[in-house]
Copies of this chain bind each other. A is one copy, B any other.
């Protein structure tokens, strides 16, 4: 990766979505999908509470939005940026959508599905494994989550 790689600005965009999610009372996770040509196809944050939908994780929302935009089930050549390690639901959706590269921030020992637990991409039942770049702006992502959950505890 050269200095010119725009992954920092894409992850900054995902972090902005994570902060907006936290401000809505959602677990602060944000995601962005970038098309092969560099265009932002979709950006969103967690909306599980707002939509009363346990599938409305940031990654799921941007995948669905990007596919709707393109009218296609597959996002060939696209990159997904997300501030936290995806859970197994989102990891499998990333595989189903044929995302080319996955950039994520903080590891998620509690609910992660990639580097721990079910390791969704590490079985023959996974038909597409993206290239994976982890620990991108992980400190900022972790700080957001820590502040959010310590705020919840303080409210009690």
Contacts and interface: CB of A to CB of B under 8 A. Distances in A.
A69 B126 CA distance: 32
Interface in A37-77: 48-49, 52-55, 60, 63-64, 67-68, 70-74
A101 interface: no
A64 B54 CA distance: 8
Interface residues of A, number: 41
Interface stretch (A7-15, A108-116, A133-141, A148-156): A108-116
A74 B54 contact: yes
Contact of A55 (B52, B96, B113): B96
Contacts of A52: 67-68, 70-73
A111 B125 contact: yes
Contacts of A127: 111
Contacts of A5: none
A60 B124 CA distance: 23
A33 to B, nearest CB: 13
16 contacts: A48-B73, A49-B73, A53-B64, A54-B93, A55-B55, A55-B63, A55-B93, A87-B92, A88-B88, A88-B91, A88-B113, A92-B113, A113-B118, A116-B123, A118-B122, A118-B126
